[in-house]
Amino acid sequence: MFSRNLARSIERSKFYNQARPFSLGGWFKSWTDAAQSQRLIYPPPASQFTTQNRIIDVWVSDKQDIYNYVNVKPPLLLNFTYATPKDNKVTQALFDVLSDKSKYPPGKGPVYLVNILADSEGGRELMKEYVVGGKIPCILVLKHQLPAGKYVPDLETFSEQDIIEFLKGI
């Protein structure tokens, strides 16, 4: 009886191993595929800016990192986002509008932009601190260290014009 149960379990484990073989190459491929879908994008270099805006090119992933930027005089935009292709579309449009004078709303003063990685531990703490909620990506406006506005883009119908309209209201 014992040997028959043992034989069945060996046969089952042989079946499962054939159905899902493990290979080191397959593991690395899945790891690189995941890395390809999680890409951080960075703003253009400061030499290409035609506006007075300041885009901080460091992704904040720790709560203490934000305190270096909160005390700025111009409005501060906190871009809470994930590093996914859909969210990167919004972030790239934001970079393009803030760095190009022809796209930036005329007559608006300079703003600062800080990007916060929402899936990091520090990013989640900052989401709770600033009461962002569960809708990501989200752009929060701080004036004098206090929240003064919020923009949550609809990823299905998003266009660069939506960012421009949002910036006109700051």
**Per-residue buried b or exposed e for 80-119, using 16+ beta carbons within 10 Å of the residue's own CB:** bbbbeeebbbbbebbbebbbeeebbeeeeeebbbbbbbbe
Whether 152 is covered by a domain: the verdict is yes
Whether 85 is covered by a domain: the verdict is yes
Number of domains in the chain: 1
Whether 10 is covered by a domain: the verdict is no
Whether 11 is covered by a domain: the verdict is no
Whether 15 is covered by a domain: the verdict is no
CATH number, residue 161: 3.40.30.10
**H-helix or E-strand containing 57?**
strand 54-60
Whether 91 is covered by a domain: the verdict is yes
Q: What pTM, to 2 d.p., does this model score?
A: 0.76
Whether 13 is covered by a domain: the verdict is no
Whether 79 is covered by a domain: the verdict is yes
Domain range for residue 141?
Answer: 49-168
| pLDDT tens, N- to C-terminus, the chain (170 residues) | 555 665 555 555 444 444 455 566 665 555 555 545 567 888 888 888 999 999 998 899 999 999 889 888 899 999 999 989 999 999 999 999 999 999 999 988 999 999 999 988 999 999 999 999 889 999 999 998 899 999 999 999 999 999 999 999 98
